[in-house]
Structure 1
Amino acid sequence: MHDLVREYATELVHGTPRTAADDDAGEAAQKAATSLRQLLEYYTRTALAATSHLQPGVPTSGDFTDLDEALLWLDRERANLTASVAVAAASGHQNLAVNLPVILYDYLEWCGYFDDLIAVTTTACDVAHRAGESAAEAGAWNNLGIALTEVSRYDDACNAHTRAASLFASMGDHNEKGKALNGLGSALRESGRHSEAVQIHQEALAVQRTIEDIREQAAVLSNLSLDHQELENFPEACDAAEEAALLFESLGDTANQAKALCTAAYALQASGQPEKVRAVCQRVVEVSSAVGSPRDEAAILMACAELLTDLTPQQQIAFLVRAQAACERGNAQDLHAHALLRLGQAWSERVTGDKPSPISPVLQPCMKTSALTAKRPPFALCSRCADPAVRSAAA
């Protein structure tokens, strides 16, 4: 950890002020405060440059030559970056304490560091609330809700999204309110409240259709398809997912197009349309090369391995080995359990033919744990909120 960040963090923990070696303690304190501000600004500015490499279509600065170099810096500085949020909040740098979590969001989500994401975003909620910055507070609550859903804290996620939607509504910001409702619907679905999820997602869709936000319409439609699948309304599920895929395609968003197609394929499979499943998965394979996030890549590969029932064991293994590697890159432990389970089944089928090989009694508890941990690849699409002032403030 950087010395200035460590020094200030130590002061926060122990409640003891730093002593100045200079005769003029006031001047020394002012110099220290200036140095701290400069350090926090450096981390904010450089993190913005690094995370821009994670976002397709976003112009990148010359600070990093490519994505690998940007990720290397972010990984190396992660402890400093997350500590800087708490230090900024405690030292009165409110803008930095609110902006830095937004900048870090894509990186922390990309790599599956959800505990860090929850910590820094919670700080942003508190700071924005104390400062009376309603827009920033609402955005932070929405982003916190998405992260809480990722770690299965569904009640907390619902509360966060509800608070975000209420704040956005009070400001008349219908687009951001629609994003918060979309996240709320997904949290409701994951908690088993499927009918409520449909209702909320339909409300969100109506909002986004009114303001003609195509990207958000597509995101809501994809989630609405998942809701309908849980309720076994498969025709509605197919229609919603296919419309979402077409909208994402019109925007050139191949990553989300691939996820929407996977959602459609699951609905088609459940409704007994194997030929259409095969055709849709072929489209997924064609566009999946453009997927950047390792978590998304893993989920798509695992979906193809599951949905393409005519794959040979060797072909299944090829998909799943790539998925396993992507899980490791993206720290996707939940998906990793599913990938390992499926990979073991594929290897068993390859060795024994159609009959699964007997599982040793010693390994049965491990297999049971993996099965309980594993879940179907996630294709929920929720949009984080980012104050447009973040990028100019951090520049």
Structure 2
Amino acid sequence: MVSFGLLGSVEVRVDGTEVNLGHARQQCVLVALLVEANHVVAVDQLVDRVWGERPPRRVQGTLYSYLSRLRQALAPAAEQVSIVRRSGGYVLSVEETAVDLHRFRRLVGEARAADEDERASALFAQALGLWRGRAFTALDTPWFTTLREALERERTAAELDHTDLRLRMGRHTGLLAELSTRSEAHPLDERLAGQLMVALYRSGRPAQALHHYQEIRCRLAEELGTDPSPPLQDLHQRILTADPALTAPATPSTAGSGRRPVPVPRQLPASPPVFIGRIPELATLDRLLDPQAAPGGTVMVSAIGGVGGVGKSWLVLHWAHNRLEHFPDGQLYINLRGFDPSGEPLAPAVAVRGFLDALGADPAEIPAELDGQTGLYRSLTSDKRLLIVLDNACDTAQLLPLLPGSSTCTVLITSRRQLTGLAVSHGARSLDLDVLPDTEARHLLIRHLGHRRTAAEPDAVATLLTYCAGLPLAISILAARAAAGPDLPLSALAEEVQEAATRLDALDTGDMAADLRAVFSSSYHALEPDTAQAFRLIGLAPGPDISVSATASLTGLPVARVRVLLRKLRAAHLVQEHTPGRHRMHDLIRLYATEQGHGQPVSVSEAALHRLADFYLHTAHTAAGLLDAHRDQIPLAAARPGVVPEEMADRGAALDWFTAEHRVLYAAVDLAAGLGLDAHAWQLARALETFFDYRGHLHDWAASQRTALKAARRLGERSWQADAHRSLGVAYTQMGRLDEGHTHFHQALELYDHLGDRVSQAHTYRGLGWVCDRQGRPREALDHNERALRLYRRADHRGGQAMALNNAGWLHAMLGQYERTLDYCAQAVALNREIDDRHAEAGAWDSLGYAHHHLARYADATGCYERALDLVRGVGDRFNETEILRHLGDTHLAAGDHEAARLVWRQALEIAEEIGHPAADELRDALMDPARDLSEDQSEDTRRGRS
């Protein structure tokens, strides 16, 4: 059996199994045919419906492709449905009752023609129960939008007719909640207003009926400049005079029985007016409706968690309003005020009593104690298909009395806490909401403000979205402020949110429910004191996230205790463990935490941050020594008490640690300088050099060294200033900013000369030689390098000698003296092996490969490059791995193996694009023009090993 669902998300089921219909555009083709099932739809009409004014170039071929795929998808139901070509177009043949849209129209027609009210009401209910949401959700061409609006009008007309019928049948009591919700969604619908007034009057609430009339009268005057229609005015007058004709007729169920009618509760608040995205989460909630999803007949419970403002309640209400047909016995809703900034959480006894009233319990029969009330509540919900929404729960204890015992009920819970206890005791399924992706966040803002206003100020929109960081409440607050002042430029709001000092003020509408600071405050004040202290300190930490070990040093607490505190913060959704052992805060929560941190004694914050700076410095110093055991070591002052640096077993562990902490360490350099810890700032920047070099983080390298240079100047440490200048020389030369590199090398040389530091002078001469080589002056470069070699030999600095020998060999290659290159670089290989410097040895093998290549000894060159690659990969230097792969590709090309050349150039390009290597464009050109030999472009060689 096949069934087509258009009144909601588009779906097709064959024998109960959902069919994969492909992407949205392909679904458009199917729906365009289904809307006119068994009628020919012209090709031009299909194109217009599916693509609007922007069809693809080969639109007919694309259309045929989609039709072919749809036929394949529907093949299991080939006997019941077919798509065939007819003169001028296509027709989808199917029994119309298999399509919910046609079934809805048929049932509504039968209801309006029925002679008996009971039968008519049942038919209306059956028709309206087919709706699962907005028709063909996610299909967005102009034709679909127009059709969707028309169908919404059909649906509304059916609802109104059904309501008139039920009022005529005396069923006003069960209509009150439903009519109130619909009136909120359609405040200018006079027919709906009249129905609500009649229901209120017949329920003994004439004052509320008259008040509702005054509300719609004022709205009509303000928004449309009109008065209520004559029928609504007449109804108002009849209520004022208590017209006996308005009295409700007796219903078969209550006439003469003396019993109270049993209401159908409809307590859901209105669906959110603007809702974007959350497709995976809605699908997860849909699985609650699967009859096979409740093992052992247990009640279906889903706990939706997330930080305040992330949209938990909006998700639940949007889902619930689009699934009402699954809960014919009603919907119960209560806000448990678990994190209400204006008061205490709602007591379970109050909540249960409210549900009992909604379910029609006789007040005289309600027990006095909570246990008895809970028992009665579970009796009244037994075997009913109810939806129960428990919004904003505080904890599991508050929830337990509100859980029904019947497996026919579905319970949705929202909370800012992880309700682990509920998962254990009742098998609750957890669904944690994250912030909106960038695209959905943008769509949400556009839906609030409109395309015209957002398109007029794209830069301001980008700023607003950046600082809202995907938090739906933040976006909605800014949109509400913008809507309240239509003449207010969005750029003015953008200026407010850009400033950290005013950002949370900008996210305040004056209403406590729409004040982001108040939302965060209610979660923060629910924390225990030591957890709150950890929250405040983490907010002060630099970088995008923080490890458990770093948090232990920050707080001065043992790691075991810190794990407990972080678990509590995760449970409150104030931090997120985005990767194992690393935690981060949403940007706006971090700003709130920082505000709270600044409210504690300065000595506490400074001591914590000093410990954190010690942690990063001492751990980075150890890791840098493992990456390059041959770099000159510097002594560090002892770390403060409470600091426990991480220990690392080997080079690989050190590289992993640097990779994980990269962004944090970069920020920690600035943090140290800001705290006045200038020695920390300089030493930490120095510890990062090798990692930045290996991974090609050249801009971070230069920025951290600029901070280090300023710190060294404040300290008056001339040797440190010289080292920072030399490091900047290397970074700028690597980046191709050769004049700046040359300037910094010269400034370093002057300082080293004054200090009498011969080894550092040699390092700097080698750097100057590298700049000259890059500038196309190999003779001058060779002079600098020979001077460096002489200084290294006087100081017996073997590592420096090996580097200078390799550089001399390379420069001889630049002069076309390849045999001399082989001599110098063979000495460099031998010396690097003696001192076990594998990184430098890799550079020497690369130079040997280059010389063999230009001597047309391609097999020897390939062997050298492959040896160099083994070594450079062993130390994790991806920058130089890119360079060696470039050279290896050149050799393959020269040897006539174009395919091998392209293969290694592709590998090089992948790395270059990942790390931002300056040779990425050249590699792309080489792959486009494989006859090009990259090795001929000598001035562009950027290998760090030759510095």
TM range (shorter): 0.7 to 0.9
1:47 partnered with 2:583: no
Query: Counterpart in 1 of 2:870?
Result: 289
Say whether 1:37 aligns with 2:618: no
CA contact (8 A) 1:245 1:257 kept: yes
Q: How many Å apart are 1:126 and its aligned residue?
A: 1.9
Residue equivalent to 1:278: 859
CA distance 1:252–1:6, shift in 2 (3 Å) = closer
Counterparts in 2 of 1:62 and 1:116: CA distance versus 1, 3 Å: closer
2:897 counterpart (312, 336, 353)? 312
Q: 1:242 maps to what in 2?
A: 826
Give the match's secondary structure for 1:274.
coil
Aligned position for 1:200? 784
Structure 1 residue 180 and structure 2 residue 753: aligned?
no
The CA deviation string for residues 41-75 of structure 1, in whole angstroms up to 9 with x for no partner, is 122223334445533689xx964567666555534
The match for 1:327 is: 912
Task: Give the deviation of 1:110 after TM superposition.
Answer: 1.7
Greater mean alpha carbon deviation, residues 136-145 or residues 45-54: 45-54
Note if contact 1:260-1:379 (Cα within 8 Å) is conserved in structure 2. Answer: no
Quick check: 2:846–2:864 contact (8 Å CA) kept in 1?
no
CA distance 1:45–1:328, change in 2 (3 Å): farther
In structure 1, the gaps of 5 or more residues are 8-16, 23-27, 347-355, 357-366, 384-395
Which residue of structure 1 lines up, in the alignment, with residue 696 of structure 2? 112
AA at the equivalent of 1:334 = P
* TM-fit CA distance, 1:376: 5.5
**Equivalent residue letter for 1:166:** E
Q: Which moved more, 1:292-301 or 1:255-264?
A: 255-264
Task: Please list, as runs of the form range in 1=range in 2, the aligned pairs for 1:73-84 lying within 5 A after superposition.
Answer: 73-84=657-668
Q: Retained in 2: the 8 A contact 1:337–1:374?
A: no
Are the counterparts in 2 of residues 258 and 300 from structure 1 also a CA contact under 8 Å?
no
Q: Structure 2 CA distance, aligned partners of 1:143 and 1:188?
A: 17
Cα 1:230–1:147 change in 2 (3 A) is same
Note the 1:210-249 alignment, pairs <5 A. Answer: 210-249=794-833
Question: Per the alignment, do residues 18 and 186 of structure 1 end up closer, same or farther by CA in structure 2, a change over 3 Å counting?
Answer: farther
- For the 8 Å contact 1:225–1:237, the answer to whether it is kept is yes
Query: How far apart are residue 317 of structure 1 and its match?
Result: 3.5
The answer to whether the 8 Å contact 1:249/1:257 transfers is yes
Give the match for residue 942 of structure 2. 378
One-letter amino acid matched to 2:942: P
In structure 1, how many angstroms separate the alpha carbons of the residues matched to 2:811 and 2:650? 38
Question: Residue 338 and residue 266 in structure 1: after superposition, are their counterparts in 2 closer, same or farther (change >3 A)?
Answer: same
Are positions 1:136 and 2:727 aligned together? no
Determine which of 160, 163, 166 is the counterpart of 2:750: 166
Alpha-carbon separation, structure 2, partners of 1:48 and 1:251: 21
Distance 1:343 1:249 in 2: 35
Flag the 1:6–1:178 CA change in 2: closer, same or farther, 3 A.
closer
User: Which whole-Å CA distance do the structure 1 matches of 2:697 and 2:599 have between them?
Assistant: 39
Q: 1:155 — aligned with what? A: 739
Q: 1:255 to 1:21 in 2, by over 3 A?
A: closer
- CA change 1:261–1:201 in 2 (3 A) is same
| Greater Rg by CA | 2
Gaps spanning 5+ residues in structure 2: where? 1-536, 544-594, 632-644
Distance 1:73 1:283, change over 3 A: closer
Q: Is the 8 A contact 1:118 1:147 kept in 2?
A: yes
Task: State the structure with bigger RCO (CA 8 A, min sep 6), 1 or 2.
Answer: 1
Give distance in 1, aligned partners of 2:881 and 2:689: 19
2: CA distance, partners of 1:39 / 1:177: 35
Confirm or deny that 1:3 pairs with 2:3: no
How do 1:63-102 and structure 2 match up within 5 A? 63-64=647-648, 70-71=654-655, 73-102=657-686
Name the amino acid aligned to 1:4. Answer: L
For residues 324-363 of structure 1, what are the structure 2 equivalents within 5 Å? 324-328=909-913, 331-346=915-930
CA offset at residue 118 of structure 1? 0.7
CA positional deviation for 1:100: 0.3
Q: Provide, for residues 165-193 of structure 1, a one-character-per-residue CA deviation record: whole Å limited to 9, x for no partner.
A: 22222222211110111111111221233
AA at the equivalent of 2:727: N
Structure 2 CA distance, aligned partners of 1:334 and 1:180? Answer: 23
Cα distance in 2 for residues equivalent to 1:195 and 1:183: 14
- Matched with 1:352 is none
Residue 334 (structure 1) shift: 1.9
**Higher mean C-alpha deviation, range 47-56 or range 144-153:** 47-56
C-alpha spacing 1:179/1:132, structure 2 compared with 1 (3 Å)? same
Question: How far apart are the structure 2 equivalents of 1:69 and 1:237?
Answer: 36
User: Any conservation in 1 of the 2:775–2:939 contact (CA below 8 Å)?
Assistant: no
The letter of the residue matching 2:713 is H
Q: Deviations over 1:80-114 (max 9, x none)?
A: 32222122123221210110001111122222111
Determine the C-alpha separation between the residues in 2 that align with 1:343 and 1:62.
44
**Of 141-150 and 247-256, the range deviating more from structure 2:** 247-256
Q: How many residues align?
A: 342
Q: For the structure 1 residues 154 and 286, does the alpha-carbon distance in structure 2 shift closer, same or farther, using more than 3 Å as the test?
A: closer
Distance 1:342 1:155 in 2: 28
TM-score, normalised via structure 2 length: 0.33
Q: CA deviation at 1:336?
A: 2.9
Aligned AA (2:865): V
Summarize the Cα distance change of 1:266–1:101 in structure 2 as closer, same or farther, 3 Å threshold: same
- Higher normalized strand content (fraction of residues): 2
TM-aligned CA deviation for residue 279 of structure 1: 1.9
1:103-159 deviation digits (Å, cap 9, x = unpaired): 111122222111111111112112112212122222121111100101122122112
CA distance in 1, matches of 2:597, 2:859: 69
SS in structure 2 at match of 1:333: coil
Give the number of the structure whose residues are more often helix, by fraction.
1
Amino acid aligned to 1:381: G
CA distance in 1, matches of 2:746, 2:906: 40
**TM-score between both structures, scaled by the size of structure 1:** 0.74
SS in 2 for 1:334: coil
Q: Which amino acid aligns with 1:221?
A: L
- How far residue 253 of structure 1 moved from its aligned partner, in angstroms, is 3.1
CA distance in structure 1 between the aligned counterparts of 2:794 and 2:650, rounded to whole angstroms? 39
Separation (CA, whole Å) in 1 of partners of 2:887 and 2:757: 36
The answer to whether the 8 Å contact 1:222/1:380 transfers is no
Q: Any conservation in 1 of the 2:681–2:708 contact (CA below 8 Å)?
A: yes
